[in-house]
Structure 1
Amino acid sequence: MSNESKEKVIVLIGPTAVGKTNTSIQLAEQFDGEIISGDSMQIYRRMDIGTAKITKEEMNNIPHHLLDIKEPQESFSVAEFQQLVRKKITEIHSKGHIPIIVGGTGLYIQSVLYDYQFTETPGDEEYRIHLEEEVKRYGNEWLHTKLLETDSEAGKSIHPNNVRRVIRALEIYHCTGKKMSEFQAEQKQELLYDIALIGLTMDRDLLYGRINDRVDLMMNQGLLEEVKSLYDEGLKSAQSVQAIGYKELFEYLDGEVSLERAIENLKQNSRRYAKRQLTWFRNKMDVTWYDMTNKEEHPKIIKEISDFIAGKLHLKSNK
């Protein structure tokens, strides 16, 4: 399929706290865009502060999609995300607007853009239940170590607390003798859309400082109260609360660590996640990067990004 016949999509990626939200609004205003969240946790209702979900005021009347579509006790898969986003892309185009996917969950975004098939790997429910029982007995880290021994590449890309994906990777190997990473490598790397793929980056020390400040702000905004309401609902084993920002405070509410230690763990895990995000994007996707380190340069950088998008997708900017 030629690029002329493909739907156009702007994709904005980057680590947590780098400034994607503000940049995405400016791009949406310039290109008649509608924003699709590419974040695997912002789909959950009542999980606003910990996921740094955009507020109604910040949206500036730009339509946003795939926010608040699931209850925290519900599970959510890459395959479901792929299906929902592809449908939204077509819907947005039918209105004469441009879809802008914004987020930091690399595999989710990649699954939409490329011809990824999720139905071809078999499953074994009995083995899955057995692994779920072992997690309860031995813990997340133990299971993740088992994956690292079986499929080190998948183990490095999946967080130990993403138990469902760890189990899925082990299940694929158990059923087929092939690693999840091998299945992923065999996927066709054919782009389904005509895309402008932009990445935001930043000096690491500055980014880490911003992450630390963001955690402090989240705590001031009421993150502990948000987490406690989920804790009080008995959602300890739900997929949603394995996310950074929730699991650390669950440990505090369980009496395992002090609040001070939980906040430090949250900051450290967020910094590590940002590092993993950058590594993933650099290794897996063909990104045009823009450095957001110097705040005074932001207007100039936004102009450069807009010019790149306009040239790449043959679009006219409103500004």
Structure 2
Amino acid sequence: DTATVDTATVDTATVNIATVSTTPLTISATNSIDNESNVTEKTKIIKEMENIYMHDSLLNPSNEIKIVTNFSKNNEKKKKKIIIIIGVTCSGKTKFSIDLCKKLLKYNITGEIISADSMQVYERFGVGTAKINKTEMENIKHHMLDICKHTKEFNAHKFIKNTIPLIDHMYKNNKVAVVTGGTMLYIESLLWESVIDLKKKKNNNINIDRLIGEEIKSEGVYSDGIGLEGIDSDRGVQKINNYEKYTNSELYSKLSKIDPERAKQLHENDRKRVCRSLDIFYTYNKKHSDLIKLLCHKNKNKLNKARYEMCIFYLDYENDNVLKTQIEKRVDFMIANNLLEEAMELKQINKNKDLKKIDNKKGIYQSIAYKEFDEYIEKKINNINDENLFNACKNKLIQKTYKYAKKQRKWILNRFVKTYNIPLNKIYASENYEEQLDRAVTIVREFLKN
């Protein structure tokens, strides 16, 4: 139980920090992760869950089977150790990270939280992005919050440029980084150097920041705010290459000729990603489809190739009805805590600009928590109170956030578990919280001292 973060590699084949059942994790039809009407998708997801390698140690304390732990072993080089907390939106990742850090302090382990959320990096506007406030931090130090103007762009490359030095500094001061959030692209970019290798290539004559980290299975999973679309704008890239003078059809035709495999993965009107794939080819003389294969191929040694040793906790709900209820509660909470006032303020900030020209693919404007109420706010400004419209906007926000949560789940299962074979410590957010938290503390202590 040392306060230092021991970077020594683990030379043994197994480490006993968790006890789980030897049988695969099974989810019954009554607790499936989709609604009952979609039987095909339900069966598919259940089948996927049955075949993944996921630690369920926090739920099965009675089993005594030793298994391989959820952090990398037999590394050629000593690596810094970090804790990662991921999961679907509204699953309580922020609270769990704070509670975990507080409990670890009792064992002289100081954790500092790094937010991995693409919207919470922006200053102010904390309600629509579900940003924690100073009181809620409970004296646990937080990083990567409120570091960017709301009109500016922030992306995965900028995230790792800021985060890697933070982790280095924590390590030198005998502290451990607890990376917490729902922007999975940020987390993957932090863990694996291969995601940003293009930065080192020659002919770097375009804005590479907007090219880095575009992998087919991680598209659209960008934030843990309430229902965020997370559009990674490529307008600067398009401008440099004069793509604006071409129609969608013409651009798609170009891509079909140089990279037909990638073209088949995209819709003709998906201009942003078509332009990105064209840029990769013209700049690096490499097909984007080949790059995706390189980044997404199944690699049993993916853990050993990671930048850090990692202990990952995955928060989710056993029943999607509970998830949807939590989303509804969060939307109600946001509205009660001035979500609409925040949206109104955004309009006021831009009152001297043509609102039609505001780039909703840039900065805080990506958040649909604001966009979904735009029509209602316009009427409110003109002293028109339309309750039916308000309820419609609210319900639309709930549905989009629910859909987004399922996209997060799919990303985690497909990317971390199926593709990279990375086991996770799963926590059911609605069950036996204190018991699961205590076992999580045990897992972290064992992870750090090995």
**Does TM-score exceed 0.5, indicating one fold?**
yes
- 1:68 to 1:133, Cα distance in 2 relative to 1, 3 A: farther
Give secondary structure in 2 for the equivalent of 1:229: helix
Alignment-mate amino acid for residue 274 of structure 1: A
Give secondary structure in 2 for the equivalent of 1:198: strand
Deviations 1:65-107 (A, max 9, x none): 0000001101112111011111110111122111000001111
Give secondary structure in 1 for the equivalent of 2:199: coil
Rg larger for: 2
Q: Structure 2: how far apart are the matches of 1:85 and 1:165?
A: 26
Q: Structure 1: how far apart are the matches of 2:266 and 2:182?
A: 18
Which one of 126, 144, 154 corresponds to residue 66 of structure 1? 144
On the 8 A contact 1:150/1:170 being kept in 2, the answer is no
Q: Structure 2: how far apart are the matches of 1:294 and 1:127?
A: 44
Q: Structure 2: how far apart are the matches of 1:288 and 1:230?
A: 39
Give secondary structure in 2 for the equivalent of 1:245: helix
Give 1:251 deviation, angstroms.
Answer: 4.5
Does residue 1:247 correspond to 2:371, yes or no? yes
Which one of 436, 440, 443 corresponds to residue 301 of structure 1? 436
Does residue 1:292 correspond to 2:428, yes or no? yes
Alignment match, 1:128: 238
Q: Structure 2: how far apart are the matches of 1:66 and 1:166?
A: 31
Alignment-mate amino acid for residue 215 of structure 1: V
Q: Structure 2: how far apart are the matches of 1:54 and 1:273?
A: 20
- 1:223 to 1:180, Cα distance in 2 relative to 1, 3 A: farther
Does residue 1:191 correspond to 2:306, yes or no? yes
Give 1:306 deviation, angstroms.
Answer: 1.7
Does residue 1:311 correspond to 2:311, yes or no? no
Give secondary structure in 1 for the equivalent of 2:323: helix
Q: Structure 2: how far apart are the matches of 1:247 and 1:123?
A: 34
Give 1:258 deviation, angstroms.
Answer: 2.8
Identify the structure with the greater helix proportion: 1
- 1:168 to 1:287, Cα distance in 2 relative to 1, 3 A: farther
Q: Structure 1: how far apart are the matches of 2:274 and 2:370?
A: 19
On the 8 A contact 2:340/2:377 being kept in 1, the answer is no
Alignment-mate amino acid for residue 436 of structure 2: I
The runs of 5 or more residues in structure 2 that have no matched partner are 1-8, 10-74, 208-235, 249-255, 380-387, 417-421
On the 8 A contact 1:164/1:239 being kept in 2, the answer is no
- 1:153 to 1:178, Cα distance in 2 relative to 1, 3 A: farther
Give the stretch that moved more between structures: 297-306 or 35-44.
297-306
Q: Structure 2: how far apart are the matches of 1:233 and 1:208?
A: 33
On the 8 A contact 1:201/1:289 being kept in 2, the answer is no
Alignment-mate amino acid for residue 397 of structure 2: L
On the 8 A contact 2:112/2:176 being kept in 1, the answer is yes
Give the stretch that moved more between structures: 7-16 or 187-196.
187-196
Alignment-mate amino acid for residue 82 of structure 2: V
Q: Structure 1: how far apart are the matches of 2:286 and 2:137?
A: 44
Which one of 190, 199, 203 corresponds to residue 119 of structure 1? 199
Does residue 1:22 correspond to 2:95, yes or no? yes
Alignment match, 2:325: 209
Give secondary structure in 2 for the equivalent of 1:57: coil
Q: Structure 2: how far apart are the matches of 1:4 and 1:314?
A: 17
Alignment-mate amino acid for residue 435 of structure 2: K
Alignment match, 1:233: 349
Q: Structure 1: how far apart are the matches of 2:332 and 2:289?
A: 37
Give 1:186 deviation, angstroms.
Answer: 1.8
Q: Percent identity?
A: 30
Alignment match, 1:267: 398
Give 1:290 deviation, angstroms.
Answer: 2.2
Q: Structure 2: how far apart are the matches of 1:208 and 1:178?
A: 43
Q: Structure 1: how far apart are the matches of 2:392 and 2:245?
A: 29
Give secondary structure in 1 for the equivalent of 2:135: helix
Alignment match, 1:7: 80
Deviations 1:98-147 (A, max 9, x none): 1000001111101001113241576668860255688xx99xxxxxxx9x
- 1:90 to 1:124, Cα distance in 2 relative to 1, 3 A: closer
| RMSD of Structure 2 on Structure 1 (CA) | 3.3
Alignment-mate amino acid for residue 221 of structure 1: N
Q: Structure 1: how far apart are the matches of 2:272 and 2:187?
A: 19
Count of residues in correspondence between the two structures: 298
The runs of 5 or more residues in structure 1 that have no matched partner are 139-145
Give 1:164 deviation, angstroms.
Answer: 6.6
On the 8 A contact 2:262/2:288 being kept in 1, the answer is no
Q: Structure 1: how far apart are the matches of 2:375 and 2:412?
A: 30
